[in-house]
Structure 1
Amino acid sequence: MSVVYDFTGKVVLITGSSAGMGEGIALLFAKSGANVVITGRNAERVAKVAKQCTDVSPKQLTALEVVGNLTNKEDCNRLIETTVQTFGKIDVLVNNAGIDCLVEITDECYYEKFLTTINTNLNIAVYMTHKCVPYLAKTRGNIINIATIGAKRASSDSSPYNISKAALIMFTKCMAAELGPKHHIRVNVVNPGITLTDFECESMGFNREESDRKLTAIGIQLPVGRVGQVSDTASIVGYLASNAAEFITGSEYVADGGQLVGNVFDSNTDY
C-alpha cells in the first residue's frame, strides 16, 4: 500500500475479520490509527488478528475482540453493543463476512446451501446495516460492502454465491440513495477478483496444493500478470472510508487485475 491514511480517532467494525480479506482490511485500518473491531467464529483466530492489529497500530491501540456467529441476530446485536460500549461510537462499517460453495441446482443439497449462502453473504450485511445506522448517522460515517466480480457474470456452479453478491451490490446502491439524504451516510461496494487467501481452500474444499496451483495458473493469464493480494482490496476500502472519497457514494469499485476485461474465467474461479 503506497498511500497512508489517517483514521486516528475513528472506530471501524469489520465483519469476517478473523482471516483473509477481512484480516487485511483490519490491518490497514489499524496501521492508519483506527480503533478496530475484530470478529469471527473462531476465538483463536480472532485473538491472533487482534494482536496483529495492536502490534501495527502507531499507538498500540488494543483491538476489540468479539467472537460470535453473525447469522444469529443476538450475536450481531452483541457485537454492535460491545463496540459502542467500548468506544462510544461507530465511524465505519465494513460488511465483509462471506462464504462460497460449489453446487448445482440439481444437487439434493442445493436449496439448503443456497439459504446458508444468502444468510451469510447478504442477510448479515442487511441486518448489520439496519442496526448500525443510528450510530453511523451520529458520526456521518460510511459503509463499505465487499462483493465480488462473480456478481457481474453467470457461472454454472456458483449461483448461490453470485446471486447473494449481486443482491449485495443492489443493496449498496439502495442504501446510498436512502441513507445519504436522510442520515449523511455514504455506502459503497468493492468487487474483488480472485485473491490469494485461504477462502478458496476453506469454503470450496480445495487443499493448499490444489489452490496454489490453480491460482498461479490463473494469475499469469490476468492482464496485470498476478492474482490479487488482500492489500489490493484493503487499499480501496481505506480510500472509500477516507475523506478523500467524501463525494463518492453508491459506487462499485472493481479490484480484479483485469480479470473481467480479460475474460479470464473458468467455472471455479469466480470470487
Structure 2
Amino acid sequence: MSVSYDFTGKVALITGSSSGIGADIAELFAKSGANVVVTGRNADRVAKVAKQCTDVSPKQLKALQVVGDVNNEQDLNRLIETTVQTFGKLDILVNNVGFAHMADVDTEDYFQIFQNVLYTNLNSVVYLTHKCVEHLAKTNGNIINISSIASKISSRGSSPYHISKAALDMFTKCMAAELGPKRIRVNSVNPGAVVTNFVINMGLPTEMVEKFNETIGTKYPVGRVGQSPDIANTVAYLASDTAAGFLTGSIVVADGGHLAANVSIDGEKQKLNKN
C-alpha cells in the first residue's frame, strides 16, 4: 500500500531541486498538493523540473522557478523574497543542495576545496535558515536538512564533505531547540549511497559510478543502494505535521542499513579517486 500526503495550501521551497533528490522531493510535494519552488543554477533544468511539478499537481498548480546560486547571498535573498511575494508565505524549507570534492589534506589546494564545500553544504543552509525564520514562524513551518551518513563515519580523501555534514547535523539539533518555541520543527535526513548524478557531476565516468553503486548495493542489508524517491518519501514524512508532528531535532538515517552493517566504502572510493 502506497503512502500519500496532503500538503494542500502549503508552500515548499527546495534548494538544489533542478535534478536528483531535490527534483524528486519537489515533485512529491507538488503531487501532494503543495505550491513548490524549484531552484538551481541551470535555467533549463529548473524549467524542466518545474513543468514536471505542474504536470503532477492535482490542481495543476504552477511551480515557481528561481534560478540562482546558493553561494550568492543576493540570490538567496531573491529566492526568499520571490517565494513570499508569489505565494504570500513559506511553510516548508528543504535545504537539499550539496557538494562534494575528494581531496587529501596534503593536496595543494585542499583549503580552498574545504572552504568551497563548507560554503555550499553548511554556510548556505545557515544563511537561508536565518533569513527564513520570520516567515516559518508565521506558519508554524518546518525545516528539513539533507545531510548524509558521512556525518557519522570517516573515510579517506573526503574530509571536507564529512566535516560539513557533521556540522550540519549539529546545526539541525541546535535549531530544533532554538526554534521550538516558535513552533518550527527542524529535522535532518541522512542518506547512504543513492543513485543520482551527484558523483557523476564530479567528473567521474558514468560506468564507473554505476559499478560503484552495484558493488556497494550488494553490501547493504536491503540488497541495493537508494533511489531518489526513497529520500523524497522520508522528507515528506518529516514535513507532515500529522505524521511527524512530534519529531524535531531528529537525525533520520535512510541508508539501507549502511551504518548497521558497518559497510566500508574506502576501497571503492579510492578506485573512483584514482580516476
TM-score where L is the length of structure 1: 0.97
CA contact 1:40–1:69 (8 Å) conserved in 2? yes
> For residues 193-214 of structure 1, what are the alpha-carbon distances to aligned partners after superposition, in whole Å with 9 as ceiling and x for unaligned?
00000001103x3111111111
| Residues in 2 aligned to 1:225 and 1:124: alpha-carbon distance in whole angstroms | 34
Q: Please, which of 216, 222, 225 is the counterpart of residue 223 of structure 2?
A: 225
How far apart are 1:168 and its partner, in Å?
A: 0.4
Matches within 5 A, 1:239-258: 239-243=237-241, 244-258=243-257
Matches within 5 A, 1:1-271: 2-181=2-181, 183-203=182-202, 205-243=203-241, 244-267=243-266
2:191 partner amino acid? P
1:148 partner amino acid? S
| Residues in 2 aligned to 1:216 and 1:55: alpha-carbon distance in whole angstroms | 32
2:18 partner amino acid? S
| Residues in 1 aligned to 2:151 and 2:34: alpha-carbon distance in whole angstroms | 31
CA contact 1:54–1:63 (8 Å) conserved in 2? yes
CA contact 1:194–1:269 (8 Å) conserved in 2? no
How far apart are 1:269 and its partner, in Å?
A: 5.2
How far apart are 1:109 and its partner, in Å?
A: 1.1
| Residues in 1 aligned to 2:80 and 2:269: alpha-carbon distance in whole angstroms | 34
TM-score where L is the length of structure 2: 0.96
Where structure 2 has 5 or more consecutive residues not aligned to the other structure, the ranges are 271-275
Where structure 1 has 5 or more consecutive residues not aligned to the other structure, the ranges are none
Identity over aligned pairs, percent? 63
Summarize the Cα distance change of 1:38–1:75 in structure 2 as closer, same or farther, 3 Å threshold. same
CA contact 2:11–2:34 (8 Å) conserved in 1? yes
1:48 partner amino acid? K
| Residues in 2 aligned to 1:16 and 1:160: alpha-carbon distance in whole angstroms | 19
Q: How many residues align?
A: 268
